[in-house]
Structure 1
Amino acid sequence: MRDPFVLAVPSGGFVLFGTTDENLWGGPATGFDCWTSDDLVTWDGPFPAFRPPAGFWADTQFWAPEVVAHGGRYVMLATFASTDPAAGPRGVQVLVSDQPTGPFLPWSEGPVTPRDVPCLDGTLFVDDDGVPWLVYSRGAEGAPGGPPGITDGEMYALRLADDLAAPAGSPVLLFRASAAAWSKPLWFPEGVEPPEQLNLGKDPLFTDGPCLLRTEGGALHMLWSSFGEEGYAIGVATSPDGEVTGPWHQRDEPLWARNGGHGMVFTDPAGGRHLVFHWPNDTPHERVVMVDVEVSDDGVRLLGDPTGA
């Protein structure tokens, strides 16, 4: 599993989502599954959370499902792409369900992200005024059959309509990958080539997997992923005033540096906060790991090493 996401259900228990298609980079997509647990140790599943309905616009690269309770329903934000260039580039679509495990059905008319550039990894943030924002990445990947991707990945915030079905403004650039001193160009081990379906440019810097955390003092932290000296990594950026539009200040060192990433933090009923991410970043060996974290105005601190490495 890549891109794990854990939902703590208000009525009790947890639901785990993630990217699990066998041919995740460019093969035919199946959908999203989920697993359930009462204790974060023993998991039941998989259960089908989403299967594309007839006529669905996308058929590949089903990535990074996130599910949150919002407006009396459960909302899934997920990345989709099509092998048909006429369908437009990869984007983030909104789906809904009455149950945390689905089945989820399309809610927005295709992606809510801009339809002229490839986008991915959307997360929902509701500000103090109740305004919903989609924070998402324009990573280094190019659209299938189009020009190569950009060389400096970007992170954006996009205001959504109250019902989440459409954008309600223009994207706001938050930062580029090069803003973080630890972010390095994508590299692969000797003898390993990047998947052709990603359509990468030369020596790209990535932005992936945003997750926003509000602190008691009102600051806003963002976990996000790029590549560092030791492979895929998780960094932290901070908006001291708590505004989703920033300005965002990057931490000098990644929170997690060793070939794992796309992390998110959830809170259990006792108030404990846990970071989950996939490690290692080597297909098909990715697994879900979890570690306790401490979140304060000063930043995010790991309280252990989930890999034992």
Structure 2
Amino acid sequence: MITGFRTIKKVTTEEIHMRDPFVFTDHQAKKYYLFGTSFADGCGDEEPIFEVYVGSDLQHWEGPYVAFQPPKGFWGVRHYWAPEVFKIDEKYYMFATCKGGIGEHRGTGILVSDHPAGPYTPHSEQAITPENWECLDGTYYEDRDGQRWMVFCHEWTQEYEGKIKAIRLTSDLKNSFGEPVEILNAIDMPWIRPFGDPRIEKEGYLTDAPFMYEAGNGDLLLLWSSYSIPNYGDQGLGGYTVAIARSRSGKIEGPWEHDPDLLMDRNAGHSSLFHTLDGQLHLATHYPDTPHGHERPLFLRVTEKNDGLGIERIE
């Protein structure tokens, strides 16, 4: 692990300001590596980076260490968002969202390392989401036939109706190919409300944070986040939420259907799943979503039911 300009400290989960947390469990080293959106746009003369915290439980951490320091000329210049790490072919690959330079779109590219904590180096030459699309939050999935995919969001800032799509990856993870498969259109959800950003004077139906999970019953589940209307979910907050789409065929091509009940409607979201060192399934999410500046990682135990997932409640 490498250090940067930020002081390495021992901290608890509640002390880490982070959005979009993602936990990689290293069963061999008996360590957890916590990634997320933290130093996303740099500060002063410091460039944006991806950071990592390391711990042996889910409460006590050491960091932040530098997981990725962009080299000169790297395609991503800001908006270092939502890193996710996967072990593939005995290496570690970070799916990383960045915004390109003037005239270039946001997208997700792939970095590589020999260690889960990094340091990571560029693997794909640029974002491998479609070049002319505004995209974010790419995640990895390998289907039962061995085809590798990136599942990502086609942004509401470009589309108005945010969508989640999947695109095939070459076996070396350096490029994508073929026409993307559309998994969902946000506007079709009965619980969703428009999201507005006054800074850019735009409104639309947002999609965030796709994450794939193969359920024991054979369903392929997709977790994702957006904003719900008031009085829909169990708390009726009308805030950031987590929904589930499912492909009962187990295939990424679907057909896809959408659970009527939200997995979580508690001003929390951008979630992923991981197994703890003792094999328990957990959800990583940030809570609360607002007010901004208060976001912290939150880890909740998940139980898999016959036809869905159940989580501990946020009180």
Q: Is the TM value for this pair above 0.5? A: yes
Letter in 2 for 1:167: S
- 1:65 corresponds, among 80, 83, 99, to 83
> What is the distance in 1 between the residues matched to 2:154 and 2:190?
19
TM-aligned CA deviation for residue 217 of structure 1: 2.1
Letter in 1 for 2:79: Q
> What is the distance in 2 between the residues matched to 1:195 and 1:95?
33
- State the SS of the aligned residue for 1:171: strand
- 2:132 corresponds, among 108, 116, 119, to 116
Q: Does residue 106 in structure 1 map to residue 134 in structure 2?
A: no
Q: Is the 8 A contact 1:181 1:253 kept in 2?
A: no
Letter in 2 for 1:272: Q
* Match in the other structure for 2:301: 292
TM-aligned CA deviation for residue 105 of structure 1: 0.6
TM-aligned CA deviation for residue 134 of structure 1: 0.5
* Match in the other structure for 2:24: 7
> What is the distance in 1 between the residues matched to 2:107 and 2:189?
25
> What is the distance in 2 between the residues matched to 1:10 and 1:84?
42
TM-aligned CA deviation for residue 64 of structure 1: 0.4
TM-aligned CA deviation for residue 246 of structure 1: 1.2
Q: Percent identity?
A: 36
- 2:242 corresponds, among 231, 234, 240, to 234
* Match in the other structure for 2:202: 201
Letter in 1 for 2:21: P
- 1:30 corresponds, among 48, 57, 69, to 48
- State the SS of the aligned residue for 1:178: helix
Q: Deviations over 1:31-69 (max 9, x none)?
A: 110001111111111110001101112211110000010
More strand by share: 2
C-alpha RMSD of the superposition? 1.7
Q: Is the 8 A contact 2:164 2:182 kept in 1?
A: yes
> What is the distance in 2 between the residues matched to 1:270 and 1:30?
34
- State the SS of the aligned residue for 2:48: coil
Structure 2: state its 5+ residue gaps: 1-17, 230-237
Q: Deviations over 1:169-214 (max 9, x none)?
A: 2211111012221111115xxxxxx363xx4633x11111011111
> What is the distance in 1 between the residues matched to 2:198 and 2:70?
24
* Match in the other structure for 1:212: 212
- State the SS of the aligned residue for 1:288: strand
- State the SS of the aligned residue for 2:304: strand
* Match in the other structure for 1:136: 152
Alignment of 1:131-170 (within 5 A): 131-141=147-157, 149-170=158-179
Q: Is the 8 A contact 1:179 1:250 kept in 2?
A: no
> What is the distance in 2 between the residues matched to 1:152 and 1:285?
28
Letter in 1 for 2:187: S
- 1:56 corresponds, among 71, 74, 88, to 74
Q: Is the 8 A contact 2:41 2:80 kept in 1?
A: no
> What is the distance in 2 between the residues matched to 1:253 and 1:28?
43
> What is the distance in 1 between the residues matched to 2:133 and 2:198?
20
- State the SS of the aligned residue for 2:249: coil
> What is the distance in 2 between the residues matched to 1:36 and 1:129?
34
Flag the 1:134–1:201 CA change in 2: closer, same or farther, 3 A: same
* Match in the other structure for 2:261: 253
In the superposition, the TM-score normalised over structure 1's length comes to: 0.88
Letter in 2 for 1:268: T
> What is the distance in 1 between the residues matched to 2:24 and 2:169?
22
Q: Is the 8 A contact 1:280 1:287 kept in 2?
A: yes
* Match in the other structure for 2:96: 78
Letter in 2 for 1:153: G
TM-aligned CA deviation for residue 226 of structure 1: 0.7
- State the SS of the aligned residue for 2:195: coil
